[in-house]
Structure 1
Amino acid sequence: MTMRWQANVALLVTAGIWGLAFVAQRVGMEYLEPFTFNGIRFLLGALSLLPLLWWQQYRKPVAKESLPRFRVVGIGVVAGLILFLAASLQQIGIVDTTAGKAAFVTSMYIVLVPLSGVLLGRRVEFSLWLGCLLSLLGLYFLCIREDLTLAFGDLLVLLGAVFWTMHILWIDRFASQVQVLSLALWQFMTCALLSLVVAAFTETITLAGIKGALSPILYGGIGSVGIAYTLQIVGQKRAEPTQASLILSLETVFAALGGYFLLQEFLSFWELLGCLLMMTGIVVAQIPWLNWRSGVKDSLRLEKAEIK
């Protein structure tokens, strides 16, 4: 019982770190432009994995990869490209929305991933359809304006959720054939390189801006990736899968609370109702999905750590 309680606490801390990462992204945009921020953040995220890779290589036995090395690199590069598109849309969109709204809209991928199983011929439970309906209704209250238009920032974040879904499915396809940390390193390096290249041609990178955004960058790179990634692995070794999934989905709540207390971002009654409906839909959709034997359930929780 004690070990299970400790695991749940580790997962709760992980959800808090991921949720507050949306606040860090908002603050970082006050000093740096989106591609510069993402480039540095993912570069730090990649570097933060090196100690884990060293420990994995020299302190514990690691199963050999079933694919040739060049294929592992290729899979990581493709994952990094998808990650670049998802993270870029999210980072650009978050400029015109709040941390809480961005987190809730991004969380739509939790529903989109199992829903995409329809295209693969998987059976979809009624609870998933109900969860999708509640989430879409919540999205309406959260993001749609009185003139029935979607704010540009919210639209970009929503498109980003589609790419997060693609990213999760890509990782799920190869997760059992490669070492996860190695794959994560290659995708982070690819995302960082692409972001910095785009930033070099489209943005103005200044030392003063990097210094101003140093805390958000460190939090987003080391905290959200390195520390939270490790805590997620530790927590899921002991936690019950359903509990782990529901605890980690609380990152949206932490993002909304962080935006309120740290950035004074206020939500209207209808926006709060939208958040409540989306959270309910996410919970409803996940419970039956965790009983599937498709293998996607494990990769989703792992992938949340990798894309933050």
Structure 2
Amino acid sequence: MSRTLANTLLLLTALIWGSAFVAQATAMEHVGPLTFTGIRFLMAALAVLPFAIAETRLRRDRPLDLRTAGAFTALGLVFFAAISLQQIGLLTTTVTNAGFLTGIYVVLTPLVALLAFREIPHPVVWPASLVTLGGIYLLGGGALSALTIGDLLMLVCAVFCALHVGMIGSVVRHCARPLLLSVWQFAVVGTAAIIPGLLLEPVSMNAVLAAGPELLYTGLVSGGLAFTLQAIGQRWTRAADAAILLSSEALFAALFGALLLGERLGPAGLFGCALIFASILAVQLVPMLVRRPQESVAAPAIVPPVPAEAEPASPA
């Protein structure tokens, strides 16, 4: 696959994820946030299940043990906390704010890794964190008191997303079964959400059918399809390209929020979004750009040996 096609798949992935914020918001005109989350992720689990079965057949050398199953379940519960907070937060915040505030997990991930796993972050994290705080301040119109409960829930959601990212790397390296992990997580989230949703929220078949388009889009397209596109695209493109393209999810969320829901931000809010997006890109790209020249300088030149009976070629 060409790099251009791989980058196109990643851009499509970001577009799908960004537009899913709109579907998540409009679905709650018919069903509650927990019910929606439960049905959505159970559908996503079913969508990815055939691929996980095929992966299992190919990776018979990596059987699932109890320790791995426990790690999968723990990841699913952390993911459940993140996605539930995001869905509930959409009741009282805009799609635009949700996209950018959730994206802050990119900046928070190194900080969570420092506190939870004692991993020293790249120095760029500290100024990026300050810039992000400024962006949040401006996103609230220049006053923290203007942030809604939904905005605050999105910030807590970003913390859980960062914790999830910090945990998932070691789990995947241990088991090398990413598709099975996805299905397991989706099933945990779906089960953990649907039970309290059915008990605490008003649910009817008519309401579920009314939210059907949003459920299909977020469950099958945003969940199953977009995950597959991301896995394929990131195999054939540079990490730096992937970072930029996937980060555009927040921009697509703002775009679809404006086109489909009529959301608008003032100049201060727009500048806040720009600061948050710049911080996200900095945390992802600066370590890569710094590491690459250093590795090039440190790497010794490899000169092929000259056979004993051959003479070196004379310069032209």
Please report the TM-score for the alignment, with normalisation by the length of structure 1. 0.88
Give the partner amino acid of 1:168. V
Give the partner amino acid of 2:212. L
Residue 185 (1) aligns with residue 183 (2): yes
Aligned position for 1:112? 108
CA distance in 2, matches of 1:166, 1:124: 14
CA distance in 2, matches of 1:268, 1:113: 29
CA distance in 2, matches of 1:5, 1:175: 27
- Percent identical among aligned pairs is 37
Give the partner amino acid of 1:55. A
CA distance in 1, matches of 2:153, 2:82: 9
CA distance in 2, matches of 1:177, 1:285: 26
Distance apart, 1:256 and its partner CA: 0.2
Given candidates 94, 97, 101, the residue that maps to 1:98 is 94
What's the CA shift string for 1:251-289, capped at 9, x where partnerless? 000000000001111112111111111111111121134
Aligned position for 2:199? 201
> How many residues are matched?
289
Aligned position for 2:9? 10
CA distance in 2, matches of 1:52, 1:109: 28
Aligned position for 1:299? none
CA distance in 2, matches of 1:147, 1:75: 37
CA distance in 2, matches of 1:190, 1:150: 31
Given candidates 61, 71, 76, the residue that maps to 1:80 is 76
Going from structure 1 to structure 2, the CA distance change for 1:291 and 1:43 (only over 3 Å counts) comes to farther
Give the partner amino acid of 1:33. G
Aligned position for 1:53? 52
Residue 154 (1) aligns with residue 151 (2): yes
Aligned position for 1:40? 39
CA distance in 1, matches of 2:135, 2:277: 8
Aligned position for 2:130? 133
Distance apart, 1:231 and its partner CA: 0.7
What's the CA shift string for 1:52-100, capped at 9, x where partnerless? 1233345xx326337x522222112111111111111110001111111
Check conservation: 2:141, 2:268, Cα contact below 8 A: no
Aligned position for 2:258? 260
CA distance in 1, matches of 2:48, 2:256: 26
Going from structure 1 to structure 2, the CA distance change for 1:31 and 1:57 (only over 3 Å counts) comes to same
Aligned ranges 1:239-254 → 2 under 5 Å: 239-254=237-252
Check conservation: 1:65, 1:177, Cα contact below 8 A: no
Aligned position for 2:268? 270
Larger gyration radius, structure 1 or structure 2: 2
Aligned position for 1:89? 85
Aligned ranges 1:14-29 → 2 under 5 Å: 14-29=13-28
Check conservation: 1:134, 1:277, Cα contact below 8 A: yes
Check conservation: 2:38, 2:191, Cα contact below 8 A: yes
Aligned ranges 1:64-75 → 2 under 5 Å: 64-65=61-62, 68-75=64-71
Check conservation: 2:107, 2:125, Cα contact below 8 A: yes
Going from structure 1 to structure 2, the CA distance change for 1:125 and 1:76 (only over 3 Å counts) comes to closer
Check conservation: 1:130, 1:284, Cα contact below 8 A: no
CA distance in 1, matches of 2:147, 2:96: 16
Residue 283 (1) aligns with residue 281 (2): yes
Distance apart, 1:128 and its partner CA: 2.0
Check conservation: 2:112, 2:163, Cα contact below 8 A: no
Give the partner amino acid of 2:154. V
Distance apart, 1:247 and its partner CA: 0.7
* Root mean square deviation of aligned Cα: 1.9
Give the partner amino acid of 2:182. A
Name whichever of 34-43 and 141-150 sits farther off: 141-150
Give the partner amino acid of 2:79. L
Distance apart, 1:132 and its partner CA: 1.5
Check conservation: 2:141, 2:266, Cα contact below 8 A: no
Going from structure 1 to structure 2, the CA distance change for 1:209 and 1:290 (only over 3 Å counts) comes to farther
Distance apart, 1:167 and its partner CA: 1.4
Give the partner amino acid of 1:288. V
Given candidates 158, 161, 165, the residue that maps to 1:164 is 161
Check conservation: 2:113, 2:166, Cα contact below 8 A: no
SS in 2 for 1:279: helix
Check conservation: 1:82, 1:166, Cα contact below 8 A: yes
Check conservation: 1:7, 1:235, Cα contact below 8 A: yes
